Amino acid sequence: MATNTEDNQSERPTLSTSTSSFEALDPHDPNLSRLATTMFNKTADYLYGELTATLEDYRLLENMNNATITKYSDMKHIANGTLQPYLDQIDQIEDSVIKLEQAAYKLDAYSKRLEAKFKNLEKR
């Protein structure tokens, strides 16, 4: 009987633990093959899900960027249309203030000259 059991064991395919010795035509365990196929399918599904999630994140960022671009463009048009007249008025006021300041300096210098002439006349 021992020889019969040994004969059955010698007919069974042996599995190699080395991946380099695997060849497609070598006999292999069908259960192991099924499990490996299942593992590769599950890994592929996982990677596909990860890549899909990343792609969706990038699409969301792209949509957010486009919305932001549109919003800032609208704000620019509003600012140019609504605020530009006020900005122009501010520029005009600034020019007027500068001219007024120059006139004040001229008036101050003129009043100092008049004061100096008045003092000279009083001394005489």
pLDDT attached to residue 5: 47
Per-residue pLDDT 10s for the chain (124 aa) are 444 444 444 455 555 555 555 555 556 788 998 999 999 999 999 999 999 999 999 999 999 999 999 999 999 998 888 888 898 999 999 999 999 999 999 999 999 999 999 999 888 7
* Cβ neighbours of residue 22 closer than 8 Å, sequence gap 6 or more: 16, 28
Q: How far apart (Å, rounded) are the C-alpha atoms in residues 36 and 16?
A: 15
pTM value is 0.43
Q: 103 is in which domain, residue-wise?
A: 27-123
Q: How far apart (Å, rounded) are the C-alpha atoms in residues 48 and 41?
A: 10
27 close to 13: Cβ distance less than 8 angstroms: yes
* Tally of domains in the chain: 1
pLDDT attached to residue 84: 85
Domain annotation covers residue 89: yes
Domain annotation covers residue 117: yes
Domain annotation covers residue 8: no
